[in-house]
């Protein structure tokens, strides 16, 4: 979520036709487990992560939603230096208080990988996909106003 909040949805839009097909396919699958339309993920912006299954059930307008994703990408510009700074702040917290789901040593090891590879976009792990069936897109909250 840190990556998404800082970098926005732009990485998904390299090929618009593929991105739109992927959005429609995911909306039709309805495999996700989330119940809420969206959750806040913005650190210093109004980004939300929209559950595609709930969106499809309640709204189902893939074309307008895709336009919202594209508009969001125009506003939220990726900033790797900010991502590195925020990631470092998370590490400072983990060095003092380890959450139950991640040890500080694993965080450090992963951080070394991220630094070596210039903080790349990374897909969910197969374990995460299997357990949570993530199906969402990131947009600015203001684009959901007409749906609420």
60's torsion region: left (phi>0), alpha (psi -120 to 50) or beta? left
Contact between residue 22 and residue 33 where contact means Cβ atoms under 8 Å apart: no
Q: What is the pLDDT of residue 131?
A: 85
User: What pLDDT band is residue 33 in, cutting at 50, 70 and 90?
Assistant: low
Q: What is the pLDDT of residue 60?
A: 79
Structure tokens at 122: 């990374």
Mean pLDDT (whole number) for 39-61: 90
Q: What is the pLDDT of residue 148?
A: 54
Eight-class DSSP state of 99: -
**β-strand pairing of 136-140 with 38-40:** unpaired
Report pTM: 0.85
Size of the chain, expressed as the number of residues it contains: 148
Q: What is the pLDDT of residue 31?
A: 66
């Amino acid at each position: 979520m840190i990556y998404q909040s800082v970098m926005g949805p732009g990485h998904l839009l390299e090929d618009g036709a593929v991105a739109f097909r992927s959005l429609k396919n995911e909306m039709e699958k309805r495999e996700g487990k989330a119940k809420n339309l969206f959750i806040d993920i913005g650190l210093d912006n109004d980004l939300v992560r929209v559950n595609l299954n709930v969106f499809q059930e309640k709204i189902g307008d893939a074309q307008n939603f895709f336009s919202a994703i594209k508009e969001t990408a125009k506003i939220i510009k990726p900033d790797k230096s900010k991502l590195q700074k925020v990631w470092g702040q998370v590490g400072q917290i983990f060095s003092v208080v380890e959450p139950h789901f991640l040890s500080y040593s694993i965080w450090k090891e992963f951080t070394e990988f991220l630094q070596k590879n210039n903080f790349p976009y990374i897909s969910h792990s197969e374990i995460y996909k299997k357990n949570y069936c993530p199906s969402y897109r990131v947009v600015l909250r203001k684009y959901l106003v007409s749906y609420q």
